[in-house]
C-alpha cells in the first residue's frame, strides 16, 4: 500500500504552512525544468511547446543542480522537482531524464523532495507505464518512499471523465496500481486547464459534475491551472485571463468553494514562504531561468525581464524575489482594487504585480476575481490551514 491517506485529503493539505511568519517552520522551493519533448495528446488550447531540443537536457539538469545546491546552502526545503512541460508518459525522453545521475542525485540529496509531473496516465499504454515505473521503483535510482505527484489534465473530451464508464475503469486501474504495485507514495490530481475551459465553454453544471465526480468517485481533487500564461502573445494572455476570471466567478460559489481546490486563490498557501523557479531552453541553446508568478506554480511570463534570473545564483534569485515583492507591496498598497484588502502582502510575494505589469491590466481589471478571493481567504484563517504541520502547531501537539 503506497498511499495511506485519501488522495483528496492529501492533495488539499500538501502545501506549505498557513501560519504567521514567526511560526513558520520551513520555506519551500519548487524547481521546474522544461526538458521533456514530444506528446501525442491533443488537449484543447495546449500552449506547451511539444518539440523542445532534447540535446540540451543535460545542461538544463546541470542548472537545476546548481540551484538545488543553493537550496542546501541556504537551509531551505526543496519541496518539488517538476519535470515537464509535456506528458510524462508519452514524452520521448522521460527515461533519459529519470536515468540521469543528476536527477537522481537531486532527489537523493533532498529527502523531502518529490517529483511532480504533468501526466496523462489515463491514456498511457501498459508498456509506457511499466517502463517508467521500472525506473522509478529501482531503489538504486530513487528513494523507496519518495513521493511522486501526477497532475493529470482532463481528457480532450472533458465530459468523458464524468460519463464514460470504460474510461473511469481505465483510470481506476492505474489508481489500483499506485496503491498496491509500487512502493512509491503517489499523489495525483486532475487539473482543469484554463485553455480547455475557454475553448469548450464549459457550463456551471458541467463544472459541478466534474468536481463532484473527481471528489466522490475518483477520490482526488480538481485543481485549476491558468495555462493561458503560456499563450504566445501578451494580448492572448490578457484576453484569456479575463475570460478565465469570468468563468471562475460564474462557477465558484459558497456551495462548492470548499470542494474546489484553488491554490491560486488561497493566498495564505504558497505565498510568503515559497519560491518557484523554472529552467527552460531559450534561443540558440541558451539555458534560461525564470521566477514563477504564483497565480499557480506553473504560471510563466517569459516576456517579463524582472522575472528573468538567468545566470544568477540561488542566493541572488532570493534577493531578486525580495526586491520584486517589496515593489509589489508598494504597488498593491496604492492600487484601487487591492489597497483596502488583506491580500497586499500575499499577492506581492506571489509576484502577482509582475503579471499585472506584463499583461498591462488597468486599474479595473483584477488579476484574480475579487469575489473568488473573498471566498478562499476568510477572515478567520483557521479555516484556511493547508498543512498537517501547521495544524499540529496550532494544536500545540508537536
Ligand atoms: S496539455 Fe500537456 S498532455 Fe495535453 S497536449 Fe499539451 S503537452 Fe500534451
**Pocket of ligand 1 contains residue 276 by CB under 6 Å:** no
Residue 383 lies in a domain: no
- Best residue among 49, 50, 87 to mutate for probing ligand 1's pocket (most ligand atoms within 8 Å of CB) is 87
Question: Is the Cβ–Cβ distance between 82 and 31 less than 8 Å?
Answer: yes
- Best residue among 45, 46, 90, 158 to mutate for probing ligand 1's pocket (most ligand atoms within 8 Å of CB) is 46
Rounded CA gap, 382 and 347, in Å?
19
**Pocket of ligand 1 contains residue 41 by CB under 6 Å:** yes
**Pocket of ligand 1 contains residue 39 by CB under 6 Å:** yes
Containing domain of residue 96, as a range? 7-312
The whole-number pLDDT of residue 22 equals: 56
Query: For residue 5, how far is its CA from the centre of ligand 1 (angstroms)?
Result: 28
Q: CA angle 80-48-68, nearest 5°?
A: 25
Residue 379 lies in a domain: no
Query: For residue 121, how far is its CA from the centre of ligand 1 (angstroms)?
Result: 12
Q: CA angle 283-286-288, nearest 5°?
A: 95
Q: Whose CA is closest to 352, among 384, 387, 306, 383?
A: 306
Residue 286 lies in a domain: yes
Question: Is the Cβ–Cβ distance between 61 and 101 less than 8 Å?
Answer: no
Which atom of ligand 1 sits closest to the CA of residue 47?
6
Which atom of ligand 1 sits closest to the CA of residue 118?
2
Residue 301 lies in a domain: yes
The whole-number pLDDT of residue 76 equals: 92
Mean pLDDT, each 10-residue run in order, the chain (398 residues):
50 52 72 93 76 87 98 94 94 96 98 93 94 97 95 89 96 95 93 71 89 94 78 85 88 84 76 89 92 77 95 97 96 96 90 95 93 79 48 53
Residue 183 lies in a domain: yes
**Pocket of ligand 1 contains residue 156 by CB under 6 Å:** no
Grid coordinates representing 43 are 488537449
pTM summary value: 0.89
The whole-number pLDDT of residue 396 equals: 57
Grid coordinates representing 221 are 481533487
Residue 15 lies in a domain: yes
Q: Whose CA is closest to 28, among 41, 18, 38, 40?
A: 18
The packing angle between helices 352-359 and 314-334, to 10°, is 70
Number of independent structural domains in the chain: 1
Which residue has its alpha carbon closest to ligand 1 atom 7? 86
Query: For residue 75, how far is its CA from the centre of ligand 1 (angstroms)?
Result: 35
Q: Whose CA is closest to 81, among 118, 26, 142, 32?
A: 32
Rounded CA gap, 257 and 374, in Å?
11
User: Which distant-in-sequence residues (6+ apart) come within 8 Å of 96 by Cβ?
Assistant: 54, 57
Q: 223 in helix, strand or coil?
A: strand
CB burial string 233-260: b at 16+ within 10 A, e below = eeeebbebbeebbebbeebbeeebeebb
**Pocket of ligand 1 contains residue 196 by CB under 6 Å:** no
Which residue has its alpha carbon closest to ligand 1 atom 6? 46
Amino acid at each position: 500500500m503506497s498511499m495511506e491517506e485519501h488522495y483528496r485529503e492529501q492533495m488539499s493539505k500538501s502545501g506549505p504552512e498557513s501560519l504567521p511568519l514567526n511560526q513558520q517552520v520551513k520555506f519551500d522551493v519548487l524547481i521546474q525544468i522544461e526538458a521533456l519533448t514530444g506528446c501525442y495528446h491533443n488537449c484543447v488550447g495546449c500552449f506547451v511547446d511539444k518539440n523542445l531540443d532534447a540535446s540540451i537536457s543535460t545542461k538544463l539538469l546541470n542548472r537545476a543542480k546548481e540551484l538545488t545546491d543553493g537550496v542546501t546552502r541556504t537551509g531551505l526545503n526543496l519541496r518539488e522537482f517538476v519535470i515537464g512541460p509535456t506528458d510524462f508518459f508519452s514524452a520521448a525522453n522521460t527515461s533519459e531524464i529519470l536515468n540521469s545521475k543528476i536527477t537522481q542525485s537531486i532527489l537523493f540529496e533532498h529527502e523531502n523532495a518529490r517529483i511532480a509531473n504533468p501526466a496523462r496516465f489515463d491514456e498511457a499504454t501498459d508498456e509506457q507505464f511499466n517502463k517508467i515505473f521500472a525506473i522509478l521503483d529501482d531503489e538504486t535510482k530513487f528513494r523507496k518512499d519518495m513521493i511522486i505527484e501526477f497532475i493529470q489534465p482532463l481528457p480532450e473530451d472533458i465530459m468523458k471523465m464524468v460519463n464514460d464508464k470504460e474510461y473511469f475503469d481505465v483510470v481506476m486501474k492505474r489508481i489500483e496500481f499506485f496503491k498496491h504495485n509500487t512502493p512509491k507514495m503517489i499523489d495525483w490530481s486532475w487539473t482543469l486547464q484554463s485553455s480547455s475551459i475557454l475553448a469548450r465553454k464549459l457550463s456551471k453544471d458541467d463544472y459541478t459534475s466534474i468536481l463532484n465526480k473527481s471528489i466522490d468517485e475518483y477520490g482526488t481533487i480538481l485543481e485549476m491551472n491558468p495555462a493561458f500564461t503560456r499563450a504566445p502573445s501578451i494580448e492572448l494572455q490578457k484576453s484569456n485571463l479575463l475570460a478565465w476570471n469570468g468563468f471562475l466567478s460564474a462557477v465558484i460559489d459558497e456551495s462548492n468553494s470548499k470542494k474546489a481546490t484553488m491554490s491560486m486563490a488561497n493566498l495564505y498557501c504558497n505565498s510568503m514562504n515559497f519560491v518557484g523557479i523554472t529552467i527552460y531552453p531559450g534561443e540558440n541553446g541558451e539555458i534560461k531561468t525564470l521566477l514563477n508568478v504564483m497565480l499557480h506554480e506553473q504560471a510563466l511570463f517569459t516576456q517579463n525581464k524582472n522575472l528573468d534570473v538567468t545566470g544568477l545564483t540561488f542566493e541572488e534569485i532570493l534577493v531578486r524575489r525580495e526586491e520584486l515583492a517589496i515593489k509589489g507591496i508598494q504597488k498593491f498598497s496604492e492600487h484601487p482594487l487591492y489597497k483596502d484588502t488583506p491580500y497586499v502582502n500575499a499577492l506581492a510575494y506571489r509576484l502577482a504585480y509582475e503579471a499585472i505589469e506584463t499583461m498591462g491590466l488597468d486599474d479595473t481589471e483584477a488579476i484574480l476575481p475579487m469575489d473568488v478571493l473573498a471566498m478562499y481567504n476568510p477572515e478567520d484563517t483557521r479555516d484556511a490551514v493547508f498543512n498537517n504541520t501547521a495544524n499540529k502547531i496550532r494544536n500545540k501537539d508537536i
